[in-house]
Amino acid sequence: MQPIFETIRETGVVPVIRLDDASRAAALANALKTGGLPVAEVTFRTAAAEESIRRMCGEAPDVLVGAGTVVSAEQVDRAHGAGAKFVVSPGFSAQVVNRCQELGLPVIPGCVTPSEIMAALSMGLTILKFFPAENYGGLKAIKALSPVFPQVRFIPTGGVNAENLAEYLNYPAIYACGGSWMVRPDLDETANLCAKARNIVREAGR
């Protein structure tokens, strides 16, 4: 298993970040670290994403920074150029996966159907995002899929929060969880919510 994936598993929760202002990126990354969640998935949903990744990687080197909502090979190249250490995609795209594999960049595609999971497996991927988790049946759906695909580990994102985090983490097929509930405008509040999430992870035996 790649060390990056191991870091994600041990951390237990991946904060999902949407930034409109790259000048806030490094301070936010440090708040995540202070709260015990030194991982960031910066989504390519804004024009500031690429620069935010670059600043986090340069100014908060102890935080594992990846790019999220990556939907094209061109975005993979931009994320890689900015220093992203991993890529997360909301769905399965062979073009995105191929480009990541060409660059040696760990990739976590979104897969919620048996066909998507099989497509990912055919490309050697066994750690998959399950998104949007609650809309697609949440833990109940994952429990139905995991016996069919016992080699797969899921990272549910979308509707995961402080109230249901422990339930997800206690299921063996869950590799980690993703969410944005702990990311707030106030950095002290962000650090505090990250610490609470991290405590839930510890209580789940991670």
Active-site residues, by number, are: 41, 129
Helices (H), the chain: 3-11, 25-34, 49-59, 73-82, 94-103, 114-122, 138-145, 165-169, 187-203
Percentage helix, strand, coil for the chain under 3-state DSSP, each rounded to 5: 45, 15, 40
Pairing of the two strands 64-68 and 107-108: unpaired
- CA–CA distance, 105 with 166 (Å, rounded to integer): 29
- 200, 162 Cβ separation under 8 angstroms: yes
Pairing of the two strands 87-88 and 107-108: parallel
Give residue for tokens 């991927």.
125
- 83, 53 Cβ separation under 8 angstroms: yes
